[in-house]
Structure formats: structure tokens, C-alpha cells
Structure 1
Amino acid sequence: MDATYTIGTEVTCTDGVCGTLTRVILDPVRRTLTYLVVEPQDGPSGARLVPAQDVTTPTGSAAITLGCDRARFAGFEHAQTEEFLPAEDDEFGFGVDNTLWMPYFPLGATLPGAGALGGTGGSPLPVSRDRVPLGEVEIRRGQCVEATDGRIGKVRGLAVDPSDEQVTHVLLDEGHLWGKKTVAIPIGAVESVTDGIRLRLAKDEVRDLPELELAHGGGAGGDRS
């Protein structure tokens, strides 16, 4: 049985709870899970990039468990970075919307306040953004899933083969077109994950997909916590 990673699930270290899963990071070429982003209770500034190999959740479990203590968790790479952007457009006509170029394309990445920041006499303004390893992409809960003939729902999480971290299915959140049915889309039916999740299937084809057996509470209509 695949392991399920439902965004919003509590994450536990060997010596207690360390935070909540807020996003997952994939290698878009190999379609493998590479990192979990876990945010502690003190907020996003303490979020960490947890390597997939440090997850020890038993197969079929609805929990997310790490094979490290909270001290080691705190030593993982930060999942957020702060950069300073100019408060006003510069003399070349580039404003805050144009000054930060990302060499990868993380799903849902935003610049809080970009384009709406007033001038502050030229003082640089701090902007926090997600850190994503070069060449990889992030997936957040609530990102749109598009069939070939239109939108069908939003991401809830992923199903992953624990033997090799291969992503097997994308799980849809509640409120999709088919009510309470657990909708799990095979990763082979995913065309792209670089600008939302785009499928090779039409709505009718998604509707006819068989339900995937998941750990209790780990499906698209349930909760893992």
C-alpha cells in the first residue's frame, strides 16, 4: 500500500511533534518525492526541508513520522528565505515585480506584497519566499488541477511508493466534481506540474478512474491528522 502525504497533517519526530506538513517537493523528471516542508508551531520562519529518506512512516499508516529527533529536525535546511527588494521602481524601469528571477518554477510561489508596495524613500523591503532545490518543484494544498477540458478540483496531497519515493498518484481535495469519491489520479496521467497540475485526461476519464486503496484517513475525502 502506498504512503499518503496529505498537506496539513501533523508530523512527529522520535521525541514528539515537530510541526505540520505544508508542502511537498518533487523531482519533476523522475516524478519522485524529494522533500517534505514541515512548519513548526512558531510559524513559517522555522519551516524546514526534510529529506524524503528521513521519513519512517510505516507502509499503510495515516501518520507522518520522521526517523530523527527534534534537535536534528531543527538542523535541516530552512524552507524559507528572505530577500530584500527595492521599494520603488529603479531608473531602468524595473519594479519589485521584475527584480527577482527564479531559476526553477515552484508551484504557487508568490512574492507577498509585490506590486502593491508603496515607496519608502528607497529603503529595501524584506520579502520571504519558498526555497526549492534547483530543478525541482513544490506542490501545495489547494493548487488547481486541470483536465484537458477544464478545471476539476484542487490538490490535497500525494500517494508515494515508500520503497523508492516514486509518486504514484495525485489526490484531489474535497469539493471536486464527484463529491465524496476518493479521486486519485495516476502520475502517468499528469502532463505538467510547473504551472498548476495539468492532466492528459478529460473530465469523464478522471471520473471513471478506480478508487485507490489508501491508509484510513489518507484519502482525498478524509484527513490524516
Structure 2
Amino acid sequence: MGNTDKFEMIANKYDTPERIEIAKVCSDAIRNHLVDAKSKSAIDFGCGTGLVGMNLLNEFHSVLFLDSSQNMINEIEQKIADFNIHNAETLCFDIEKERPTDLQADYIFMGQVLLHIPDVEFVLSRLFDVLNEGGHLLIVDFNKNEKVVSDIVHNGFNPEELTDMMTKIGYKDIQFKTFYSGDKLFMGQDASMFILDAKKGHR
């Protein structure tokens, strides 16, 4: 998955106070969009060290932490052991390289993951296939920011353009809102974040 090598190197130093704080903001936004999720399964996609998903374990029946970096997965497995967590599993998997055959979930959420993915439409299409009928994909990411110039990440997203792309794939009932803004949030620039909630319709 996008920038896996970089994440392999920083896995054991990833949980800084700033990242922990932003993860809490992201997980709070996701929690506000959950409906009757206590009996549902979820995937924390591109989970990193699980900062977002760990905050949401009590909201779901089960959470699968999925990332393409084995070192990130190792960090989560340590947390699961340390905190004696029983409703979480891990999977090291690169959805850009392999087609998931037996993955299914009612909810998939991703916090600041999409900006690392080169082919956004391709990955969103694969996630559509993983979702159960009527399931939800929740995306938290940065609004497009012209001040950010990078070769390795997207400079945020225009939620309207994302909505058009996702509608073509088959997602429906797409809603989004900007819920947070902060100083020097994104590559040293002031930025705002949106949450997008999309449902799996019939293809």
C-alpha cells in the first residue's frame, strides 16, 4: 500500500502525542456516524498502529486491523496482548496488490489513509467489494489544500469529486462534512478535515 516502506521504519515511534490527539478527533467523528454497530464487524483500513481503531473497539462486535506494514501490525498485536483485548484481530495485507477473497465487514473506516493511496478509485472499488450489503465506508481525511506540495501524498481531497467517483463505483447515500480544522495539521500547513459516510448499494 502507499508508502509502506516509510511506515515500516517509523512504526515503533509512530504514537506521538500529536498523532494520538488527531486519532481521537478522527475516532470521535467516526463514532458519531455509527448506527446499531454493537453487533457489527469493522475493518480499520490502513490502521497504522491502530490509534483510531483502538478508540472504537467498544463500538463494534469485532474489529480487524488491516495494514500493509508488518511492523505496524506488530505494534497493534502488542497492544492487543497488553490490554487483553478479545474482539480484535490483525491482518497484514496489501489491497493494491492482492484481491481480498474472504474479507467481509459491515463497516470500514480509514483515518488519514486515502491521501497515501496512489490509485484512489481502484482501492475504493476493492473496499466496496469487501463491504456487506448496506455496509458503510467512513473516510476521514484532509480537504484539498493547494499549499501542500508533495510527491508522496495527495494534497487532500475535494469531497464533491470523491462523491462523484464513489457514486460511479456504486456507493450511495453519500454525505460529508468538514468537522475539524487546526494549525500546521498537514505537512506543516493549516488544514481542515472532513468525514465522508458512504453506503454500499446494489451494483
TM, length-normalised to structure 1: 0.26
TM, length-normalised to structure 2: 0.28
Bigger radius of gyration among the two: 1
